[in-house]
Amino acid sequence: MTRLRSKAAPYLLALPAWLWLGIFFVVPIIGLLWMSLMTGNIITGFTPTFNVAVYPEVVTTYWEQILRSLGYGLAATLLCIAVGYPVAYWIAFHGGAHKSTYLLLVLLPFFVTQVLRTISWKFLLADNGLVLGPFKAIGLLPEDARVLSTAVAVVFGLAYNFLPFMIMPIYAVLEQVDHRVVEAAYDLYASRFHAFVHVILPLSLPGVFAGVLLVFVPSSADYVSASVLGGTNNTMIGNIIHSQYLVNNAYPTAAAITFVLMAVLLIGIFSYARALGTERVMEVQAG
Protein backbone atom coordinates (compact mmCIF):
# COMPACT_ATOMS: atom_id res chain seq x y z
CA MET A 1 0.00 0.00 0.00
CA THR A 2 2.83 2.36 0.91
CA ARG A 3 4.60 1.53 -2.34
CA LEU A 4 1.41 2.22 -4.31
CA ARG A 5 1.03 5.62 -2.61
CA SER A 6 4.62 6.57 -3.39
CA LYS A 7 4.08 5.71 -7.06
CA ALA A 8 0.79 7.61 -7.24
CA ALA A 9 2.08 10.68 -5.41
CA PRO A 10 3.69 12.38 -8.46
CA TYR A 11 0.55 11.87 -10.55
CA LEU A 12 -1.70 13.18 -7.78
CA LEU A 13 0.52 16.25 -7.37
CA ALA A 14 0.33 16.90 -11.13
CA LEU A 15 -3.42 16.30 -11.26
CA PRO A 16 -4.46 19.96 -10.56
CA ALA A 17 -2.17 21.16 -13.36
CA TRP A 18 -3.59 18.61 -15.79
CA LEU A 19 -7.14 19.52 -14.82
CA TRP A 20 -6.38 23.20 -15.29
CA LEU A 21 -4.81 22.51 -18.68
CA GLY A 22 -7.71 20.34 -19.78
CA ILE A 23 -10.48 22.70 -18.68
CA PHE A 24 -8.96 26.00 -19.72
CA PHE A 25 -6.92 24.97 -22.78
CA VAL A 26 -7.94 21.65 -24.34
CA VAL A 27 -11.72 22.14 -24.02
CA PRO A 28 -11.68 25.71 -25.47
CA ILE A 29 -9.41 24.56 -28.31
CA ILE A 30 -11.76 21.74 -29.22
CA GLY A 31 -14.70 24.14 -29.04
CA LEU A 32 -12.84 26.60 -31.28
CA LEU A 33 -12.09 23.86 -33.81
CA TRP A 34 -15.72 22.77 -33.76
CA MET A 35 -16.91 26.34 -34.31
CA SER A 36 -14.53 26.84 -37.25
CA LEU A 37 -16.22 23.95 -39.09
CA MET A 38 -19.70 25.46 -38.80
CA THR A 39 -21.67 27.60 -41.23
CA GLY A 40 -24.50 30.06 -40.67
CA ASN A 41 -24.94 33.38 -38.95
CA ILE A 42 -25.90 34.80 -35.60
CA ILE A 43 -29.56 35.23 -36.59
CA THR A 44 -30.32 31.75 -37.98
CA GLY A 45 -27.72 30.05 -35.86
CA PHE A 46 -24.57 28.07 -36.65
CA THR A 47 -24.73 24.49 -37.91
CA PRO A 48 -21.84 21.98 -37.97
CA THR A 49 -21.24 21.25 -41.66
CA PHE A 50 -17.50 20.38 -41.49
CA ASN A 51 -16.78 23.29 -43.80
CA VAL A 52 -13.01 22.83 -44.14
CA ALA A 53 -13.00 25.21 -47.13
CA VAL A 54 -12.96 28.09 -44.67
CA TYR A 55 -9.27 27.45 -43.95
CA PRO A 56 -7.84 28.04 -47.46
CA GLU A 57 -10.32 30.89 -47.77
CA VAL A 58 -9.02 32.80 -44.74
CA VAL A 59 -5.39 32.13 -45.74
CA THR A 60 -6.05 33.55 -49.22
CA THR A 61 -7.92 36.55 -47.84
CA TYR A 62 -5.72 37.48 -44.87
CA TRP A 63 -2.23 36.27 -45.81
CA GLU A 64 -0.99 39.87 -45.88
CA GLN A 65 -2.12 40.54 -42.30
CA ILE A 66 -0.62 37.22 -41.16
CA LEU A 67 2.77 38.02 -42.67
CA ARG A 68 2.63 41.57 -41.31
CA SER A 69 1.88 40.27 -37.82
CA LEU A 70 4.81 37.84 -37.96
CA GLY A 71 7.09 40.62 -39.22
CA TYR A 72 6.00 43.04 -36.51
CA GLY A 73 6.34 40.33 -33.87
CA LEU A 74 9.85 39.45 -35.05
CA ALA A 75 10.93 43.10 -35.13
CA ALA A 76 9.53 43.70 -31.65
CA THR A 77 11.30 40.58 -30.36
CA LEU A 78 14.67 41.69 -31.77
CA LEU A 79 14.15 45.15 -30.29
CA CYS A 80 13.33 43.59 -26.91
CA ILE A 81 16.56 41.54 -27.05
CA ALA A 82 18.60 44.64 -27.95
CA VAL A 83 17.12 46.63 -25.06
CA GLY A 84 16.33 43.89 -22.56
CA TYR A 85 19.58 41.94 -22.56
CA PRO A 86 21.77 44.88 -21.40
CA VAL A 87 19.18 45.75 -18.74
CA ALA A 88 19.07 42.17 -17.44
CA TYR A 89 22.88 41.95 -17.57
CA TRP A 90 23.33 45.18 -15.62
CA ILE A 91 20.83 44.18 -12.93
CA ALA A 92 22.31 40.68 -12.57
CA PHE A 93 25.98 41.72 -12.40
CA HIS A 94 25.85 45.31 -11.14
CA GLY A 95 22.52 45.62 -9.35
CA GLY A 96 24.09 44.90 -5.98
CA ALA A 97 21.72 45.04 -3.03
CA HIS A 98 19.06 46.88 -5.04
CA LYS A 99 18.28 44.14 -7.58
CA SER A 100 14.76 43.71 -6.25
CA THR A 101 14.13 47.44 -6.60
CA TYR A 102 15.31 47.47 -10.21
CA LEU A 103 13.16 44.44 -11.04
CA LEU A 104 10.18 46.17 -9.45
CA LEU A 105 10.82 49.19 -11.66
CA VAL A 106 10.88 46.91 -14.71
CA LEU A 107 7.52 45.43 -13.74
CA LEU A 108 5.98 48.70 -12.52
CA PRO A 109 4.26 49.55 -15.86
CA PHE A 110 2.38 46.25 -15.58
CA PHE A 111 0.39 47.73 -12.72
CA VAL A 112 -1.44 49.69 -15.45
CA THR A 113 -3.51 47.94 -18.09
CA GLN A 114 -1.97 47.46 -21.54
CA VAL A 115 -4.61 49.59 -23.22
CA LEU A 116 -3.85 52.63 -21.04
CA ARG A 117 -0.10 52.16 -21.48
CA THR A 118 -0.49 52.08 -25.25
CA ILE A 119 -2.83 55.08 -25.31
CA SER A 120 -0.29 57.09 -23.29
CA TRP A 121 2.27 56.50 -26.06
CA LYS A 122 -0.26 57.77 -28.57
CA PHE A 123 -0.05 61.18 -26.90
CA LEU A 124 3.75 61.04 -26.58
CA LEU A 125 4.23 60.10 -30.25
CA ALA A 126 1.69 62.60 -31.60
CA ASP A 127 2.84 64.87 -34.43
CA ASN A 128 3.47 67.71 -31.98
CA GLY A 129 3.87 65.60 -28.85
CA LEU A 130 6.73 65.39 -26.37
CA VAL A 131 8.89 63.27 -28.70
CA LEU A 132 8.52 64.94 -32.10
CA GLY A 133 7.47 68.43 -31.00
CA PRO A 134 10.88 69.67 -29.69
CA PHE A 135 12.75 68.35 -32.75
CA LYS A 136 10.29 70.09 -35.08
CA ALA A 137 10.59 73.29 -33.06
CA ILE A 138 14.37 73.49 -33.55
CA GLY A 139 14.19 72.41 -37.19
CA LEU A 140 15.76 68.95 -36.88
CA LEU A 141 12.59 67.35 -38.27
CA PRO A 142 10.28 68.60 -41.05
CA GLU A 143 6.81 69.69 -40.07
CA ASP A 144 5.18 66.72 -41.81
CA ALA A 145 7.33 64.17 -39.96
CA ARG A 146 5.25 61.64 -38.04
CA VAL A 147 5.52 58.35 -36.20
CA LEU A 148 1.90 57.54 -35.44
CA SER A 149 0.06 55.35 -37.96
CA THR A 150 3.34 53.81 -39.11
CA ALA A 151 4.93 50.39 -38.68
CA VAL A 152 7.57 51.97 -36.44
CA ALA A 153 4.92 53.05 -33.93
CA VAL A 154 3.35 49.57 -33.86
CA VAL A 155 6.68 47.78 -33.39
CA PHE A 156 7.71 50.26 -30.71
CA GLY A 157 4.39 49.76 -28.90
CA LEU A 158 4.74 45.98 -29.04
CA ALA A 159 8.32 46.09 -27.78
CA TYR A 160 7.36 48.44 -24.94
CA ASN A 161 4.44 46.29 -23.81
CA PHE A 162 6.33 42.99 -23.86
CA LEU A 163 9.83 44.12 -22.81
CA PRO A 164 9.56 42.73 -19.23
CA PHE A 165 8.85 39.27 -20.70
CA MET A 166 12.32 39.41 -22.25
CA ILE A 167 14.15 40.94 -19.30
CA MET A 168 12.89 38.59 -16.59
CA PRO A 169 13.92 35.17 -18.05
CA ILE A 170 17.31 36.51 -19.17
CA TYR A 171 17.89 37.99 -15.72
CA ALA A 172 16.84 34.71 -14.05
CA VAL A 173 19.51 32.83 -16.02
CA LEU A 174 22.24 35.45 -15.67
CA GLU A 175 21.62 35.56 -11.92
CA GLN A 176 22.59 31.87 -11.74
CA VAL A 177 25.85 32.27 -13.66
CA ASP A 178 28.73 31.24 -11.46
CA HIS A 179 30.98 34.30 -11.16
CA ARG A 180 33.98 32.02 -10.61
CA VAL A 181 33.60 30.81 -14.20
CA VAL A 182 33.78 34.40 -15.45
CA GLU A 183 36.75 35.14 -13.21
CA ALA A 184 38.46 32.03 -14.55
CA ALA A 185 38.09 33.43 -18.06
CA TYR A 186 39.72 36.66 -16.92
CA ASP A 187 42.52 34.67 -15.28
CA LEU A 188 43.14 33.06 -18.67
CA TYR A 189 43.68 36.55 -20.11
CA ALA A 190 40.31 36.78 -21.82
CA SER A 191 39.13 40.33 -22.41
CA ARG A 192 35.72 41.42 -21.16
CA PHE A 193 34.38 41.11 -24.69
CA HIS A 194 35.70 37.57 -25.20
CA ALA A 195 34.56 36.51 -21.71
CA PHE A 196 31.09 37.72 -22.56
CA VAL A 197 30.96 36.10 -26.00
CA HIS A 198 32.46 32.75 -25.01
CA VAL A 199 31.23 32.36 -21.41
CA ILE A 200 28.32 34.58 -20.38
CA LEU A 201 26.37 34.64 -23.64
CA PRO A 202 26.27 30.82 -24.10
CA LEU A 203 25.21 30.38 -20.48
CA SER A 204 22.40 32.91 -20.94
CA LEU A 205 20.93 31.28 -24.08
CA PRO A 206 18.14 29.45 -22.17
CA GLY A 207 16.92 32.83 -20.91
CA VAL A 208 17.05 34.31 -24.42
CA PHE A 209 15.22 31.26 -25.77
CA ALA A 210 12.44 31.64 -23.19
CA GLY A 211 12.28 35.41 -23.70
CA VAL A 212 11.89 35.05 -27.47
CA LEU A 213 8.95 32.69 -27.00
CA LEU A 214 7.32 34.90 -24.37
CA VAL A 215 7.62 38.01 -26.57
CA PHE A 216 7.19 36.72 -30.12
CA VAL A 217 4.00 34.69 -29.60
CA PRO A 218 1.84 37.32 -27.84
CA SER A 219 3.21 40.26 -29.86
CA SER A 220 2.39 38.49 -33.16
CA ALA A 221 -1.21 37.99 -32.03
CA ASP A 222 -1.57 41.39 -30.37
CA TYR A 223 -4.20 43.84 -31.59
CA VAL A 224 -4.03 46.72 -29.09
CA SER A 225 -0.84 48.36 -30.41
CA ALA A 226 -1.97 48.17 -34.03
CA SER A 227 -5.40 49.58 -33.13
CA VAL A 228 -4.08 52.51 -31.11
CA LEU A 229 -0.76 53.33 -32.80
CA GLY A 230 -0.95 51.78 -36.26
CA GLY A 231 -3.93 53.23 -38.09
CA THR A 232 -5.72 51.51 -40.95
CA ASN A 233 -2.62 50.61 -42.98
CA ASN A 234 -0.95 48.52 -40.27
CA THR A 235 -3.72 46.10 -39.39
CA MET A 236 -2.52 42.91 -37.72
CA ILE A 237 -4.21 39.54 -37.76
CA GLY A 238 -5.33 40.10 -34.16
CA ASN A 239 -7.41 43.08 -35.36
CA ILE A 240 -9.03 40.86 -38.01
CA ILE A 241 -9.93 38.21 -35.43
CA HIS A 242 -11.28 40.90 -33.11
CA SER A 243 -13.48 42.44 -35.80
CA GLN A 244 -14.72 39.07 -37.08
CA TYR A 245 -15.76 38.02 -33.58
CA LEU A 246 -17.19 41.24 -32.13
CA VAL A 247 -18.18 43.33 -35.16
CA ASN A 248 -19.17 40.92 -37.93
CA ASN A 249 -20.20 38.06 -35.59
CA ALA A 250 -18.56 35.69 -38.07
CA TYR A 251 -17.55 33.16 -35.45
CA PRO A 252 -16.49 30.31 -37.79
CA THR A 253 -14.26 32.65 -39.81
CA ALA A 254 -12.68 34.10 -36.66
CA ALA A 255 -12.12 30.60 -35.25
CA ALA A 256 -10.49 29.46 -38.50
CA ILE A 257 -8.17 32.48 -38.55
CA THR A 258 -7.23 31.75 -34.95
CA PHE A 259 -6.32 28.17 -35.84
CA VAL A 260 -4.29 29.27 -38.86
CA LEU A 261 -2.38 31.77 -36.72
CA MET A 262 -1.80 29.12 -34.07
CA ALA A 263 -0.48 26.68 -36.67
CA VAL A 264 1.86 29.28 -38.15
CA LEU A 265 3.21 30.21 -34.72
CA LEU A 266 3.73 26.56 -33.75
CA ILE A 267 5.65 25.91 -36.96
CA GLY A 268 7.78 28.98 -36.28
CA ILE A 269 8.42 27.95 -32.67
CA PHE A 270 9.42 24.39 -33.56
CA SER A 271 11.65 25.67 -36.36
CA TYR A 272 13.25 28.15 -33.99
CA ALA A 273 13.77 25.46 -31.33
CA ARG A 274 15.29 23.12 -33.89
CA ALA A 275 17.57 25.82 -35.31
CA LEU A 276 18.76 26.94 -31.88
CA GLY A 277 18.98 23.40 -30.57
CA THR A 278 17.16 23.27 -27.24
CA GLU A 279 19.08 20.17 -26.16
CA ARG A 280 22.36 21.96 -26.71
CA VAL A 281 21.03 25.01 -24.86
CA MET A 282 20.08 22.86 -21.89
CA GLU A 283 23.46 21.15 -21.97
CA VAL A 284 25.16 24.55 -21.84
CA GLN A 285 22.91 25.57 -18.96
CA ALA A 286 23.69 22.35 -17.10
CA GLY A 287 27.38 22.95 -17.63
Domain limit, last residue, from 12, 31, 51: 51
pLDDT digits (tens, 9 = 90+) for 185-237: 888 888 889 999 998 998 898 899 899 999 999 999 899 999 999 888 889 99
Q: How much of the chain, in percent, has pLDDT values that exceed 70?
A: 95
Q: Is the same domain home to 214 and 230? A: yes
**Cβ neighbours for 198, distance < 8 A, ≥ 6 positions apart:** 185, 190
pLDDT digits (tens, 9 = 90+) for 95-106: 888 999 999 999
Q: Is the same domain home to 45 and 74? A: no
C-alpha distances out from residue 111 to 6, 76, 219, Å: 42, 21, 19
**pLDDT the model gives residue 106:** 92
pLDDT digits (tens, 9 = 90+) for 69-78: 999 999 999 9
pLDDT digits (tens, 9 = 90+) for 152-170: 999 999 999 999 999 999 9
Count of structural domains within the chain: 2
CA distance 274 to 8: 34
Q: Is the same domain home to 13 and 39? A: yes
For 142, other C-beta atoms within 10 Å of its C-beta total 9
**pLDDT the model gives residue 109:** 87
Once rounded to an integer, what is the mean pLDDT over residues 252-273? 89
Q: Is the same domain home to 102 and 114? A: yes
Q: Is the same domain home to 140 and 195? A: yes
Lowest mean pLDDT among 131-135, 172-176, 250-254: 131-135
Comparing 11 with 58, which gets the higher pLDDT? 58
**pLDDT the model gives residue 280:** 55
Domain that holds residue 40: 1-51
pTM over the 0.95 mark: no
Q: Is the same domain home to 93 and 74? A: yes
Q: Is the same domain home to 35 and 64? A: no
CATH number at residue 123: 1.10.3720.10
C-alpha distances out from residue 38 to 27, 31, 88, 264, Å: 17, 11, 47, 22
158 contacts 223 by C-beta, under 8 angstroms:
no
Please say if the pLDDT value at position 143 is more than 90.
Answer: no
Please say if the pLDDT value at position 53 is more than 70.
Answer: yes
Q: Is the same domain home to 148 and 40? A: no
Q: Is the same domain home to 172 and 212? A: yes
Q: Is the same domain home to 43 and 57? A: no
Q: Is the same domain home to 135 and 68? A: yes
Q: Is the same domain home to 46 and 148? A: no
